Structure 1
Amino acid sequence: MDDTTEDILLKKTGRNRMAIEKMEKELEALKKLVSELSKKITNVVLMVEAAGIEDRESFLRGE
């Protein structure tokens, strides 16, 4: 069975749409991870400041 040009284009469009939807879901997951990481970093910075540690970089490196 031969596909017409229209059929081929419709299939490609459908695959592209599915790929875009998959990328959008992955992007949302990445945004969530970045948000969680940002909150954790903020908490660490606040704890370091509350502890009165002036050299944050050395503290975070464990020196």
Structure 2
Amino acid sequence: MSIDRAVLVFAGFMILLSLLLTYFVHPGFVWFTAFIGVNMIQSAFTGFCPAATIFRKLGLRPGTAF
């Protein structure tokens, strides 16, 4: 799996997790969802993604390879 796909999977998982936490635990978790969205927007403009850095250190490679 490439870093790009891993970041997409991770972002999707985190959004779903934050929505579940908002619904079942406390409405304040909606701010977690907002944080994830803001992080995705800033990475689109700056090219810096903390998750991609972590995945790179874990051994995933950039590209389109599965």
TM-score under structure 1 length normalisation: 0.38
